[in-house]
Structure 1
Amino acid sequence: MEALTVDAAFLAELRRDLHAHPELRFEEHRTSALVAEHLRHLGYTPHTGLARTGVVATLDTGIAGPAIMLRADMDALPVSEAGQAPWASCTPGVMHACGHDGHTTMLLGAAALLKADPPPRGRVHFVFQPAEEGGAGAQVMIDEGLFDLFPTDYCFGLHNWPGLEAGRMGVRSGPIMAGGWRFAIQITGKGSHAAQPHLGTDPLTIGAALVQEAQLLVARRTDPTIPAVVSFCVFDAGTTDNILPETARLAGTLRALDPVVLDELKDGLQRLCNGLQMAHGVNIQVNFHQPYPVTVNEHHATQLARKAMHALDVQMGGPAPDMDITPSLASEDFGFMLQKKPGAYAMIGNGESYKLHSPDYDFDDSIITRGVRYWHTLAHTCAAQEHAP
């Protein structure tokens, strides 16, 4: 195992090519074609077309054993890149601001390494998923038959994490990423002259009251030991400084690490809107959309990931893994896969880089080899267990 090499220079060049050519959710046509071409070059027969641009390839040892699914996301974000690297985005208004270019590259590297040194038994499915960013591409792949076409015992995911030491691995049992709802709210009142507010019904002040009152859903109505947040990110009203507007538009997100709490936040926000509508005689429309489940790591799968991280630490040295990493209130559609199959979602440190979704963010190429070897070690670790679930 230690004698096998990872072509770090080639993979870094591949990652930078992906970074320079980002594609939004369900539009990852170039990325998908590049992934499939690379897999064919390695000797795989990729399955294409799931969720439009998804790619799946299987390494089958021909010997009965556990089947595992290793997943990487491929899509970029509608963000204008501020960085000036030679591999900066060539597509205006679109960039890899979440490191999915690195995730795709690490999994392609793992496909090569496992082809050279396959596990002694079982199967490994390499899943290159579109539309993680708000498109629930994981659920679309599931709906189109992912687990029927590729029967699986365990699912595993890996995400880079700025602020965690470069190359440091992290995982935890139980919730690791929050579930979330997006919401869009429109308040329709009656416009009036700014000097005559009594002749109208001001949706702006009602919206401001809603923003303030909604914070009590977490601060006073949620168990403080359960992480949760209500964030209003859009408040749009009015066109000039002497007219009270007729409408106000608000939008944001609800997040929680407990699905019951997440439902309570959603119901609570709806009740607040209903109450303000009745109290002030306005019309308030609420649209909840883009639900993502809590990403919950199953205990035994987490133990397999921890075992692989420990083995990787012995092989490579470097920063010791965090076996009980702090969960995040960011959301991740890998949670849909973990609702269907046991598995574990892990982190790999991206060092002191700019934060995810920042226009200055970039993936740290120095961690690619460690990510590749984690996938390789995890596949061997799973194959070595005595019984599949």
Structure 2
Amino acid sequence: MAFLSDTLSRIKISSTNAITQKARVLKSEGRDVIALSAGEPDFDTPENIKQAAVEALLQGKTKYPPVCGIPELRAAIVAKLKRENGLSYDVAETFVSAGGKHIIFNVLTATLNPGDEVIIPAPYWVSYPEMVSFSAGVPVIVPTTQAEGFRLTPQALEAAITPRTKWLLINSPSNPSGAAYSAADLRGLADVLLRHPQVWVLTDDIYEHLLYDGATFATMAQVEPALKARTVTMNGMSKGYAMTGWRLGYCAAPVALIKAMEVIQSQSTSGVCGISQYASVEALNGPQDFLAPRRLAFQRRRDLTVSAISAIDGLTCPSPQGAFYVFPSCVGLLGSKTPDGKVLETDRDFVDALLDAEGVAVVHGSAFGSPGHFRISYATSDEELTEACTRIARFCAQLKRA
């Protein structure tokens, strides 16, 4: 339509949201659909956090909040980063937005000029390159391989940096691969970044509390304090605290960038819902004992899913180190034909045919910059996962190989 902005030509709708919505529509029409497409914990928000929201309502804490966040929450963020990550920040170096996505959007909008480059390892979360493009930046996609554990190597980072590079965007544990960067992995990347002072780092730590097999979480500013002055450490309440609908993300960064983000947010959403903020104070300051059993439940579901998918002829499925996704390869089945004669030429063809035939909604790997794969979210019950894997196996068994 002629009256729409040219900006829309640079971005497209989120593939994960689109597939999840399609699954909702099919369910509403009476289809038996198992949706493994959304990155959303099936656990409920802990009771003490919900009660804190109720108390805030009853106390009339319903007015406009400060743009950067209420003082209590910003102080809780400072305490959390010190306690869990060994990072020292002032309250003025913290910022609160309507979800982690909003933090990233504000950061990129505040810093990118046309032509500025942002290095994004693939597979990546679907929104990263879209947000860069929206801000007139250039997404520089650096492929990683399963053999590399889907992690960016120092050599690949060095090769991707140019005089126009402004950001490295790194997500650990990763959506969609579940790959996690150890302190040693980050040390190698930090050594490269120290040689390129124009490059800032945005760490998406949203899956911090979902690391398995006893692994220890690490983040860039913690590993290399010399990079703290050009690092944005982003996190949020959605995943570990099962607060997706509360829409609250936060970050710590140099004051000059915080002030720039405040300008943008003051003219867009303004402050985040106050009730969500008071609930988040309790989440960060209150008991953390629910995290471990939920992490163990996700680890059990990971093992169940990896075992079932790995047993399917034509699929390979590495075991992720964190988050709640597996990222199998379906390359061995591309070129196959469905029983009705359709040729599965791409990963998108594979996931579309799977949804049509068996009612299992997953997301194609090309949406994450890694064709030939697909993402399964195992943030659902063991029973539903078992049934979904049974359907995927049945679908694959009915394909006629090329």
Fold agreement, TM-score > 0.5: no
> For the superposition of Structure 1 and Structure 2, which TM-score range results when normalised by the shorter chain?
under 0.3
Q: Give the alignment's TM-score, normalised by structure 1.
A: 0.26
> By percentage of residues, which structure has more strand?
1
Larger C-alpha radius of gyration, 1 or 2? 1
Q: Which has the higher contact order (CA 8 A, sep 6+)?
A: 1
